[in-house]
Amino acid sequence: MYPFNHKMGQKIQSHVPGVSCDRSFLAHFQVSAAAAVATSNTGVLAATALTAEAQVITEGITNPAAPRNIIVKGNAAGVAGDVVITGTDYAGGAITETIALNGATAVEGVKAFKTITQIDLPVETHAGTDTVSAGWGDKLGLPYLLTHNTILAAYLDNTKEGTAPTVTVSATAIESNTIDLNSALAGKVVDAYLMV
């Protein structure tokens, strides 16, 4: 069966002659337990030594199991520079994001990456000792271009979240449509209900 297309401009009549409204659909978006694994500072790229020259990494990269935001982390105070993530969005389009390192503090990106094809690493701050790793955060990519936050409810492991998730939206960039549950992901199924 071919799925509904919510972009066909369907209208709903009102009780006022000549006045109609756009029809919305209720969508059930689900991320499997296997894909909704806990955040990781090293899941995408294990700690990699920085050198006196900038590096372009294309090997040893692991994609998140579902479109997620990316985390970068240095191993020591003072580690600085930009890490550039290149890959694809939920729909397969090419995207990049630049994330500035903050010493040994994990720094989260905001875009949801389906795949990561390249990671550009900066030069070392401390000769011979700096490393940088990359992983994924709790922000899950949504497969819709949204103008407004239309999430009605979110569930983790079949239990409704008592606090609404944090949702970012974009009508033009699919990678900027994300949902971040109030509870940390931990290998439990995620269900979200939204209007599209």
pLDDT in tens, 107-136: 999 999 999 999 999 999 999 999 999 999
- For 23, residues 6+ apart whose C-beta sits below 8 A from its C-beta are 10, 11, 12
d(CA 64, CA 36): 9
d(CA 160, CA 110): 24
| pLDDT score for 1 | 64
What burial letters (b/e) apply to 28-38, b meaning 16+ CB within 10 Å? ebebeeebbbe
d(CA 137, CA 185): 9
Q: What tokens appear for 16 in the block? A: 């006022």
Nearest to 188 by CA among 143, 142, 157, 145: 157
d(CA 151, CA 23): 16
Beta bridge partners of 99: 83
Angle at 53 between CA 47 and CA 59, to 5 degrees: 45
Q: What tokens appear for 55 in the block? A: 């590096």
Q: How big is the chain by its Cα radius of gyration, in Å?
A: 20
Low-confidence ranges of the chain (pLDDT < 70): 1-2, 4
| pLDDT score for 15 | 87
| pLDDT score for 2 | 64
Neighbouring CB atoms inside 10 A of 107's CB total 16
